[in-house]
Amino acid sequence: MTESSTAQRRTSPATFYRQVVAELRKVVWPTRQQLITYFWVVLVFVVVVMTIVSLLDLGFGKLAFEIFS
């Protein structure tokens, strides 16, 4: 593929914008209730993972201090 053939296949900004709008119209947007449910699920998941990582960090930190002190 040469450089001139790629330049010919570029779309104009207006065409790109129309294509983006057309694709966004195809999106199935969640309802307010689904959005609230997804928010709480993600929030709980993040808190659980954060707790696990914090406990592992605390445990490995204490282990490292026991080994090297």
Q: Whole-angstrom Cα distance, residue 29 to residue 67?
A: 53
pLDDT per position in the chain (69 positions), as tens? 555 555 578 889 999 999 999 999 999 999 999 999 999 999 999 999 999 999 999 999 999 999 998
Looking at residue 9, its pLDDT comes to 81
Looking at residue 6, its pLDDT comes to 56
Q: Which of 14, 16, 13, 33 is nearest to 24 (CA)?
A: 16
